Amino acid sequence: MRAVLLTAVLALVSVPRIWAVWLGRLDPKQLLGPWYVLAMASGEKGFAVEKDTKNIEGVIVTLTPENRLRMRSSRHRLESCDLKDMELLKQNSRWVFENPSLGVLEYRVLSTNFRDYAIIFTQLEFEDEAFNTVELYSRTELASPEALRLFTKWSEGLGFLAQQRAELQKDLTCAHKVLQYERPGVHFLEDLGDESKG
């Protein structure tokens, strides 16, 4: 049993590196701007129990002059919506980002059509818990059939069980707490950093 578990863990860690090779030269500028998070697969403790209460989330991605990804996101928790700002540093090879001091060991794009959707893999470690997530980013409030199909394909391929996957509830309240920063008169590339400090 232990050997099977170890094999599954090793496969989960190594598969994204193999399957996502073609995205190694991804220009991070193609990821910039506002996104809705419409679906999620997670190995986090409690996710399977809480997934039916989770609403659509929002993310705005910008790029600093030092090629760091700056992310402002809303994260839906039980009866709350937390806003979070963080910067991810580019790893030495490929467009893979990280910030171990914040618990983000790996952040990469698994699949995208560079226009409407992106499938994002993240490896996280908080205190005594380590887990992975796969998220479906969408430019619109409704995901395309292609995007949903790829999200399912990737999350199943990475070993997530049905109870570890969810399409998020169609409540946009949490998403709009962060996406309100992408509005007329506010240029997310230049002004978000100043606004998020206030």
Q: Which among 110, 172, 173, 174 is positioned nearest to 140, based on CA atoms?
A: 172
What domains can you pick out in the chain, each with its CATH number? Answer: 2-197 (2.40.128.20)
> What are the pLDDT digits (tens) for 147-156?
999 999 999 9
- Residue 165 corresponds to which tokens in the numbers above? 């996957």
HEC profile of 115-182: CCEEEEEEEEEECCEEEEEEEEEECCCCCCHHHHHHHHHHHHHCCCCHHHEEECECCCHHHHHHHCCC
The answer, yes or no, to whether residue 186 has pLDDT greater than 60, is no
Report whether 79 contacts 194 (CB < 8 A): no
Reduce the DSSP state of residue 55 to 3 states and report it.
Answer: strand
Structure confidence at residue 165 as a pLDDT band (50, 70, 90): very high
In percent, the amount of the chain with pLDDT more than 70 equals 77
> What are the pLDDT digits (tens) for 23-57?
555 677 788 999 999 999 999 999 999 999 999 99
Angle at 79 between CA 76 and CA 84, to 5 degrees: 35
The answer, yes or no, to whether residue 129 has pLDDT greater than 90, is yes
Reduce the DSSP state of residue 92 to 3 states and report it.
Answer: coil
Q: Which residues contact 186 (CB under 8 A, 6 or more apart)?
A: 192, 195
Helices (H), 20-144: 47-50
> What are the pLDDT digits (tens) for 138-147?
999 999 999 9
| Dist. CA 103–CA 110, nearest whole Å | 20
Structure confidence at residue 168 as a pLDDT band (50, 70, 90): very high
| Dist. CA 49–CA 16, nearest whole Å | 26
Strand partners, 126: 129
Structure confidence at residue 93 as a pLDDT band (50, 70, 90): low
- Give Cα separations from 164 to 39, 40, 67 (angstroms): 11, 8, 33
Helices (H), 29-104: 47-50
The answer, yes or no, to whether residue 17 has pLDDT greater than 80, is no
